[in-house]
A and B are shown apart, each in its own frame.
Chain A
Amino acid sequence: MTAALFTARGIRRTFGPTVALADAEITLYPGEVHAIMGENGSGKSTLLSILSGALEPDEGQLTYKGQGLSRLTSASARDQGIAVVQQEPQLSPDLTVAENILLGRLPTRLGRIDWPRVYARAGEVLAELDLDLDPLSKVSTLSIGRRQMVEIAKGIADAPNVLLLDEATSSLDEADTNRLFALVDRLKARGTAIAFVSHRMSEVTERADRATVLRDGHYIGTTRIDETDEHSLVAMMVGRDLKSYWHKVPVEPGEDLLTLTGVSRNTLSDLNMRLRSGEIIGLAGLVGSGRSALLRTIAGVRPASTGEVRLNGTPVQITSPGQARRLGIGYVPEDRKAEGLVMGWSLLQNASLSKLGQSGPFAMITRAFDRAAYTHGAEGLGIKTHTPEQAVSELSGGNQQKVVIARELATGPRLLLLDEPTRGVDVGAKEDIYAQISTLVQGGMGLIIASSELQELMGVCDRILVLFQGRIVAEIPAAEATEQSLAYWASGAHEIADTAPQPEQI
């Protein structure tokens, strides 16, 4: 192998009493795609921040092109060809796409900004990303996914030698993710070293050449992807062997739990589905395809305008989330921080939030009420906290997600709707959630899970419905589904193609 391009050794970084990194190391070679892996809190993002110059290490050595680097800053990193793409787009919403891409290095002519060159250069960068975006449009008019693509364009505008991606795909849909990785392939061919942090195992196994695993701020090891598999990687990350990651067990489906017949409301049209107890249906689709909208309709947030919803065979009108809870429908929304939790509250108080809607107007809401909700709802979820009196804001993402799920389970639902149940959740907590899902269906609950992680849908669900522009375009048994077939239907390729790649039952 050629000489290393960028290495970090013995990196230590603390934040007050917290040791984020104890002894991290990584070596990046030109023309390689390198995944940085670890559970939440393992120090991945801190390491990336140190590589990008955003954070200074307390101890340790950075070597770039054979030279020791001292006092790397964000600006000097960029000057030396080290570019970073953040998880959250760091853009100025009132400026145009072009201005954002070239911000801080707008080409000038006679001291004035050379606008023709700005737009030409921005256009080139967008073309390199195969992105159909007007360089003149304002960033504030773009969706989150599009903004993330602009953030990526910003990162590659200087033709970097090292590109660092911090969970760059977490808000991207399948198509944009593919664009990003097509770009990664081209950069790799040019000799760029790419390091990325991702929670999606399939991205790592399909895209990376090597992976470095961190656990609790320690360097665990670096391995070639073609010499390992998902299970070994997960085992490295969590520090133990995992028998069966998805906890899938065959369950004999029972009675019809939920049926939708011709359900429509503005963006959703003519949806039909049937869920039996003990069954798990997965909803796949791009961002905006209607998978979240469908869950919201069943949860009573946005009631259906036409069509029939039957619960246990009885037609019902679900007009509010409170009513949905009383009917035995639990709903875990997509964004746990904005839509799920009251961040200033303790675990106990959050645990009883949904149960509140089930109790009568004169019910006494005492600590016993909260405790009962928590004890009942959190059972088996493995929430890690030294006391349930702790504020949820102090918990990790995985534990916060478990609290939202516990809150719904406290209401004793027969049908549970989960929207992105494991987004931004570490592997250990993901597994706990999968195990709980397994326990629930064995107890006869029915679940509908919307997720952008296709591996997760295929691993956990019995059947997968694919949505495209508010319609259900395919129904595929999970055992027969592949990432390719799901992506085919989700992208709307069937609208253009004359023949489907494989016969599906619609």
Chain B
Amino acid sequence: MTDTSLPATPTGPRLAERLRRHIGVGAALVILIAYLSLTQDNFLRYSNIMNILRTNSVLFVVSTGLTFVIVSRGLDLSVGSMTALGGVLLAALLNAGIPAWPAIGLTVMLCTLLGGLINGGLIAYGGFNFFVVTLAMLQLLRGAALVMSNGIPESTFGWPAVQWIGDGQIAGFPVPVLIAILTGLIGYAVMRWTKFGRSVYAVGGNETAAGLAGIDVRRVRFAVYAIAALCAGIAAVMLTGRLTSSQPVSGAAGLELSAAAAVLLGGASFAGGAGTVAGTAIGVLFLAVLANGITLAGVPSYWQGIATGLVLIAAIALDRLRKT
């Protein structure tokens, strides 16, 4: 069989491959939803479902950005701090008299610039280790948020546009959920169908080969950290709007780790080259439904961390089992 022709039904193995990749967590999500529907009367209510989606839209937007980074075989630990700093920046800009929409745009741009230049610049062009750089930025950005605000939350109550983004509705549908869906769709399309998206997979899969084949590896690395920061900036506006104030101390604490957990649950791996935004969506939903179920069942929310940790270990063990 020495043929270069293509088989008639080329989607077969790809579909199977995709099923294989998502089936573990996807199936677990379905089972969890089925279980909660049967045991918790309130679970399937429209208000509860919308509540789950609304409260997790910030996590999903951040996770979408982080998917790019993890697929490229990197990690950005600073996205949570960036989200906190973004909130402080937005409040400061608003209180300095800048109108709401320009202030929102400026906040997102500043976050992107900060993350891109410092994270992306040092990692891609300076050759620094991503772990060290983003760990330093986790501290640095959180510190900057505290210094800028003196640790005091500032209200954004007087700006309805900000509230609308964080907690508004369009025809009864929450705006933050729409933003999350839009971000996810764009992220999915970019990863799946653009030259840049393919380059991210190539750099994560084999950096040397990608470089020798003509991909500008440093530019790709720079861009993924800028994208992670861009998403953190969007998330900052959403979070500030939902809380009607910036939260320099507690806002977005630990968000980077929840996001990393969601991305890994979604089929990505720290070895790079694998993962999709669709998978990340399943990962976020799983964590969200799990947390919601724990609350509905009246289990103290302290258990949530333990449950998340166990699920993550189980998911990775399952993944290893499937690969061997």
Q: Which A residues contact B (CB, under 8 angstroms)? A: 299, 301, 320-325, 331, 333, 338-345, 349, 352-354, 356-367, 371, 374-375, 378-379, 381-390, 407
B196 at the interface (CB under 8 A from A): yes
Q: Residue B214 contacts which of A325, A342, A365, A375 (CB distance < 8 angstroms)?
A: A325
CB neighbours of B10 from chain A (8 A): 367, 387, 389
Q: Is the beta-carbon distance between B202 and A356 smaller than 8 angstroms?
A: yes
Indicate the member of B13, B198, B199, B273 with the most A CB atoms within 10 Å.
Answer: B198
Q: Is the beta-carbon distance between A366 and B206 smaller than 8 angstroms?
A: no
CB distance from B71 to the nearest CB of A (A): 12
CB neighbours of B209 from chain A (8 A): 333, 338-342, 353
B243 at the interface (CB under 8 A from A): no
Q: Number of residue pairs across A and B with beta carbons under 8 Å?
A: 108
CB neighbours of A389 from chain B (8 A): 7, 10, 13-14
Q: Given A343-B206, A366-B193, is A322 in contact with B212 using a C-beta cutoff of 8 Å?
A: no
Q: Is the beta-carbon distance between B13 and A365 smaller than 8 angstroms?
A: no
Q: Is the beta-carbon distance between B213 and A362 smaller than 8 angstroms?
A: no
**Alpha-carbon distance between A323 and B210 when the two chains are bound, in angstroms:** 14
Q: Is the beta-carbon distance between A344 and B214 smaller than 8 angstroms?
A: no
**Alpha-carbon distance between A369 and B209 when the two chains are bound, in angstroms:** 19
Q: Is the beta-carbon distance between A354 and B14 smaller than 8 angstroms?
A: no
**Alpha-carbon distance between A192 and B209 when the two chains are bound, in angstroms:** 44
Q: Is the beta-carbon distance between B214 and A354 smaller than 8 angstroms?
A: yes
Q: Is the beta-carbon distance between B6 and A371 smaller than 8 angstroms?
A: yes
CB distance from A394 to the nearest CB of B (A): 12
Q: Residue A333 contacts which of B2, B194, B205, B212 (CB distance < 8 angstroms)?
A: B212
- Which B207-228 residues sit within 8 Å CB-CB of chain A? 208-216
CB neighbours of A299 from chain B (8 A): 212
Q: Is the beta-carbon distance between B7 and A387 smaller than 8 angstroms?
A: yes
- Which B42-71 residues sit within 8 Å CB-CB of chain A? none
CB distance from A419 to the nearest CB of B (A): 10
SS of A interface (majority): loop
CB neighbours of A343 from chain B (8 A): 205-206
Q: Mark B7-23, 1 if CB is under 8 A from A, else 0.
A: 10010011000000000
Q: Is the beta-carbon distance between A386 and B1 smaller than 8 angstroms?
A: yes
Q: Is the beta-carbon distance between A342 and B205 smaller than 8 angstroms?
A: yes
CB distance from A184 to the nearest CB of B (A): 35
Q: Mark B269-312, 1 if CB is under 8 A from A, else 0.
A: 00001100000000000000000000000000000000000000
Determine the interface band of chain B, counting residues with CB < 8 A from chain A: 20 to 34
CB neighbours of A375 from chain B (8 A): 4-6
Q: Residue B193 contacts which of A344, A365, A379, A384 (CB distance < 8 angstroms)?
A: A365
**Alpha-carbon distance between A333 and B213 when the two chains are bound, in angstroms:** 9
Q: Is the beta-carbon distance between A356 and B198 smaller than 8 angstroms?
A: yes
Q: Is the beta-carbon distance between B196 and A344 smaller than 8 angstroms?
A: no
CB neighbours of A359 from chain B (8 A): 195
Q: Residue B196 contacts which of A322, A342, A361 (CB distance < 8 angstroms)?
A: A361
Q: Which residue of A lies closest to B196 (CB)?
A: A361
Q: Is the beta-carbon distance between A354 and B194 smaller than 8 angstroms?
A: no
CB distance from B124 to the nearest CB of A (A): 15
B115 at the interface (CB under 8 A from A): no
Q: Given A344-B205, A356-B202, A389-B13, is A379 in contact with B210 using a C-beta cutoff of 8 Å?
A: no
Q: Is the beta-carbon distance between A383 and B4 smaller than 8 angstroms?
A: yes
Q: Is the beta-carbon distance between A378 and B4 smaller than 8 angstroms?
A: yes
Q: Which residue of A lies closest to B206 (CB)?
A: A342
CB neighbours of B214 from chain A (8 A): 320-325, 354, 356-358
CB neighbours of A383 from chain B (8 A): 2, 4
Q: Provide 15 A-B residue pairs closer than 8 Å at the C-beta atoms, listed in order of the A residue.
A: A301-B211, A322-B214, A322-B215, A324-B214, A325-B214, A331-B212, A344-B205, A344-B273, A344-B274, A356-B195, A363-B194, A363-B195, A379-B4, A382-B2, A385-B1
**Alpha-carbon distance between A469 and B210 when the two chains are bound, in angstroms:** 29
CB distance from B191 to the nearest CB of A (A): 10
- Interface pairs A-B: 3 shortest CB-CB: A357-B214, A322-B214, A342-B205
**Alpha-carbon distance between A301 and B209 when the two chains are bound, in angstroms:** 12
Q: Is the beta-carbon distance between A342 and B202 smaller than 8 angstroms?
A: yes
**Alpha-carbon distance between A374 and B196 when the two chains are bound, in angstroms:** 20
Q: Which residue of A lies closest to B211 (CB)?
A: A321
**Alpha-carbon distance between A384 and B211 when the two chains are bound, in angstroms:** 27
